[in-house]
Structure 1
Amino acid sequence: MKESPGVVDLLAVLAYAELSAYARMTEDATTLAPSLADRAALSELAVAEYAHFRLLRDRLAELGADPGEAMAPFVAALDAWHAQTRPADWLQALVKTYVGDGIALDFYREAARHLEPSIGKLVDEVLVDEARSRFAVERVRAGIEADPTAGGRLALWARRLVGEALSQGQQVAAARPELAMLLVESATAGGETSDISRLFATLTEAHNKRMAALGI
């Protein structure tokens, strides 16, 4: 299968997303983690994010792209997302890691669905989030059990996160037509009549499942 011209854009936005996640999780571990055990656990997850960044960076180089130049168009949008959704406390940070990052990564996973197998395998590898999900769900559920009033506050926070994440995704797709084409191809695969709105509905459904897992 011939690689889509949007492949470099997809790998680049993922690379910057992983680099940003590494930096944010490292900061959260230092400033928000309530215990040394939590700090260590989140730091380990941050290290995994950086390893994913390196895989994507190396693949970009193999494709003949300069990783820094390839990531540059996505810096403003992703930095704005993080600035607009800065967590105020530990539980908000965990919900952002699970819910906010989750829906953003679902967006990129959909874009990669019909790419050349080696690219799809790489994307799947860097988007594996079982350890992160388990950690966030366990800690958030424990936090709500300890303080039941936290549930409503975190539910409002999660709704804000998903709104900001979907807005960010739409802005990125609008600014990078070749990346948007990957999403259109995914949304209309199999001869079905669909569009980006349908795709975002699918992403929202996945978000609702995460909310249920958190108990909010």
Structure 2
Amino acid sequence: MFLFDLDGTLLDSNGVWIDVDRTFLARRNMEYSKAYYEGVAHTIFPLAAVFTKDFCQLEESCEEIMAEWMDLAKDAYAHVQLKPHVKDYLDQCKANGESMAIVTAAIPIHCQTALDHLGIAHYFDRITYAQELGLDKKKPDIWLLAAKDAGVSPADCTVFDDSFAACHGAKSAGMTTIGVYDEMFKSDTEKLRASCDRFILGFGELL
């Protein structure tokens, strides 16, 4: 079973959230920093909002923070593109009879918009939304649940993700991990190389 992350792995979409974060902070006369990035990157919206409220010492509620993020992102997912060779690799996996699913921290409506826009929903048997479950991909729970829902052993799952923390969570669940390079988070490259079973710069390497 192949389990794919969405943002930064299949989709070239991490830039959307960098822009959202920079604009959000600039409105409050704050600069985007590594400390902020480490607090909000690769996590679900509600947890990112809790961190942001505390980190920025904001009076707004977490719900108001998330609403502003959604407004800033607008219809970006109707225009995002696949990363190079993703469709070729999905075609190859389908031809080989591989079962595929998505495990994502993306907002469900954004995920569905992107899958419809790009025409790739049919490749995947199921989608596990971390936000709907209230689970963080940094821990093994969501990965174990995804395997259970698919009726497979964690040992028979291979995870593709651009996040070091998510790959660590999947590894803790007993899964094989393939770290995927993303330019927006290139500072994590060496950690991905060291911790994952394999690291790729792009899906062309797997064709």
TM-score for both structures, normalised by structure 1: 0.27
The structure that is strand-richer by fraction is 2
TM-score for both structures, normalised by structure 2: 0.28
